[in-house]
Amino acid sequence: MPALPSGACRAGALALVLPALLASAAPVWADEAPPPPPALPTAAEQPDQPAPRKPAQPFADQGITLAWSYTGEAAGNVSGGLARKSAYTGQVYLGADADLDRIAGIGGATIHFAVTNRHGKSLSDIALGNNTSVQEVWGTQNTHLAILTWEQKLFQDRLVIEAGRSQANIHFLNSPLYCLFQTNSTCGNPTFVFKNSNFTYFPASSWMAQAKLWVAPRWFAHAGVYEVNPDRKRWNDDGFNFSSANRTGVIVPWELGYADDKGETRLPGHYILGGWFDRADYSDPLRDDQGGIAVLTGRPARTLHGRSGIYVRFDQQLTRPDPATRRGLSIFGVAMTNLSGQVEESRYLDFGIVQTGTFKGRDTDTLGFVINDQRFSDLAMQRMRAARLAAGGEDNVHRHEVMMELAYGADVVPGLRVSPNVQYVLHPDNTGAPFNRTNTGNALVFGFKFTLDGPTFFGR
pLDDT for the residue numbered 425: 98
pTM (two decimals): 0.87
Identify the H or E element spanning 381. Answer: helix 378-390
Q: Where are the alpha helices (DSSP H) in 105-248?
A: 123, 192-195
pLDDT of residue 1: 52
In a domain, 67, yes or no: yes
Residue 390 lies in a domain: yes
Strand partners, 426: 402
Euclidean distance between CA atoms 189 and 35, whole angstroms = 19
In this structure, is residue 40 part of a structural domain? no
Q: Rounded to 5 degrees, what angle do the CA atoms 286, 291, 295 make?
A: 40
For 206, the enclosing helix (H) or strand (E) is strand 206-216
- Tell me the backbone φ, ψ of residue 19, rounded to 5 degrees: -65, -25
- 229 within domain boundaries: yes
CATH number of the structural domain spanning residue 291: 2.40.160.180
Are the beta carbons of 207 and 239 closer than 8 angstroms?
no
Q: Among candidates 118, 20, 133, which has minimal Cα distance to 77?
A: 133
Question: How many residues can be counted in the chain?
Answer: 460
Q: Give the Cα separation of 248 and 352 in Å (integer).
A: 36
Asked whether residue 2 is assigned to any structural domain, the reply reads no
Report if residue 1 sits inside a domain: no
User: With helix as H, strand as E and coil as C, how does 15-82 read?
Assistant: HHCCCCCCCCCCCCCCCCCCCCCCCCCCCCCCCCCCCCCCCCCCCHHHCEEEEEEEEEEEEEEEEEEC
Task: Look up the domain containing 123 and give its range.
Answer: 13-34+58-457
Residue 31 confidence (pLDDT): 33
Q: Which residues pair with 405 in a beta bridge?
A: 370, 423
Q: Helix (H, G, I), strand (E, B), or coil: what is residue 233?
A: helix
pLDDT computed for residue 235 by the predictor: 86
Q: Which amino acid is at 445?
A: V
Question: What is the full per-residue pLDDT of the chain (460 aa) written as tens digits?
Answer: 544 443 333 333 333 333 332 233 333 333 333 333 334 334 334 444 456 678 999 999 999 999 999 999 999 999 999 999 999 999 999 999 999 999 999 999 999 999 999 999 999 999 999 999 999 999 999 999 999 999 999 999 999 999 999 999 999 999 999 999 999 999 999 999 999 999 999 999 999 999 999 999 999 999 999 999 999 988 889 999 999 999 999 999 999 999 998 878 999 999 999 999 999 999 999 999 999 999 999 999 999 999 999 999 999 999 999 988 889 999 999 999 999 999 999 999 999 999 999 999 999 999 999 999 999 999 999 999 999 999 999 889 999 999 999 999 999 999 999 999 999 999 999 888 999 999 999 999 999 999 999 999 999 8
DSSP 260-288: -TT--SSS-EEEEEEEEEEEEEEEEEEEE
Within a domain: 52:
no
How far apart are alpha carbons 356 and 409 in whole angstroms? 9
Question: For residue 130, is it within any domain?
Answer: yes
- pLDDT at position 430 is 87
Q: Give the side-chain half-sphere CA count within 13 A for 46.
A: 8
Domain count across the chain:
1
